[in-house]
Amino acid sequence: MTLEATVAAVRPADQPAMAAARELQGRLTKPAGSLGALEELSVRLAGVAGTCPPPLPIPAAVAVFAGDHGVHAQAVSPWPQEVTAQMVANFLAGGAVVNAFARQAGAAVTVVDVGVATPLLQGPADDDASAAPMGGGEASAALVGGGDARPALVEANVRRGTRDMTVEPALTADEARAAVETGIRVAEGLIAAGAACLVAGDMGIANTTPAAALIAVFTGCTAEEATGRGTGIDDAMHAHKITVVRAALDRHAPDPADPLGVLATVGGLEHAAIAGFILAAAAHRIPVIIDGVIAASGALAAAAFAPDAVAAMVAGHLSVEPGAAVALAHLGLEPLLDLGMRLGEGSGAVLALPVVEAAVRVLHEVATFDSAGVSEK
């Protein structure tokens, strides 16, 4: 679907289904409220699906959106830009952290080149990897069955990295739209292939800099509050990174009421694609688990396009990047895990998959007081 059609398809959470889930939780063989956050999560997932109990969120599919950034020229990261393409090869070979976690969780991994600067080279590591054009359906369909399948590559490069947002807009409006609609198509391909839960991941050297800018725009926080240390930078580089974010915001003065314009001026191709990915999940009433600061910034953009999309979002974990906490608080989302992680890739979100599944299994499998013959208090 187009961006406009996807936004139009997003609906609010189903209140009757949520009420039914709350009522069912009260009849299960456990003290009311004893499962804490899992109970409210099960209620939210019923609201997303529009039924109680909601479908089990399996199989799950992870999409890792990869892109590069012109702002890398401003020395905001100690890592060379070529690492983005090298990590894409590592994902396709199954050697990254997200691959290991996805295998454990039984989740499929699809890698989407939405804006990698270095052309991806086919070599021994990825000779056997699936590939698909921008639609993404063929590659995605092969993998939804489980985490043991080889990761697929979706080739959807909008442009070879963004422009330097401190000098000019990072993207044109058409490029930002193309990235958002790439995310929509990838999600739709995964859902059509049977995915019942989506996970938004990312890869891109310097991508925490545009993430900080997006978070500052959509939440109204300062550059200082939104900007973290990314892949691990010293105090001097961190202070410089804050000035870079502030300079981009001052130059463009993005309007949070125009999310496509915000993504174009200070966003990244993977951030925009994640926004579309989340919107498509919400439009299809499928839960989408948000990872760290990059995915959270994309989630803010998705919410700016369609506020009701927040109903489909589950915060997988709390990244130590400060902007992640700001973004999740703005969205009203409580993270399921807090492990001090800041890797990205979708890694923290994948770790939350068993928790999400457990919340739904309670509604499906735990007996009620009446059915089990257990006396209530």
First to last CA, the chain: 52
On whether the CB atoms of residues 351 and 291 are closer than 8 A, the answer is: no
What is the distance between the alpha carbons of residues 155 and 103, in angstroms, rounded to a whole number? Answer: 23
What is the distance between the alpha carbons of residues 120 and 99, in angstroms, rounded to a whole number? Answer: 19
In order, the DSSP letters of 320-336 are: SSHHHHHHHHHHT---S
Name the strands in the sheet holding 288-290, side by side, starting at the edge strand that comes first in the sequence.
130-132, 152-155, 108-115, 60-67, 197-203, 288-290, 313-315
On whether the CB atoms of residues 196 and 56 are closer than 8 A, the answer is: yes
Tell me the H-state helices in the chain: 3-9, 15-27, 37-49, 83-93, 97-105, 137-141, 173-192, 208-219, 223-226, 235-252, 259-266, 269-283, 293-305, 322-331, 347-351, 353-365, 369-372
| Maximum CA extent, the chain | 70
Cβ count within 10 A of residue 91: 27
What is the distance between the alpha carbons of residues 362 and 377, in angstroms, rounded to a whole number? Answer: 21
Please list the residues that pair with 110 across neighbouring strands: 63, 152
Is residue 188 part of the annotated active site? The answer reads no
In order, the DSSP letters of 37-56 are: HHHHHHHHHHHHHTSSSPPP
Given 175, 188, 321, 345, the catalytic residue? 345
Please list the residues that pair with 66 across neighbouring strands: 113, 203
- State whether residue 268 is helix, strand or coil: coil
Q: Which residues are catalytic?
A: 345
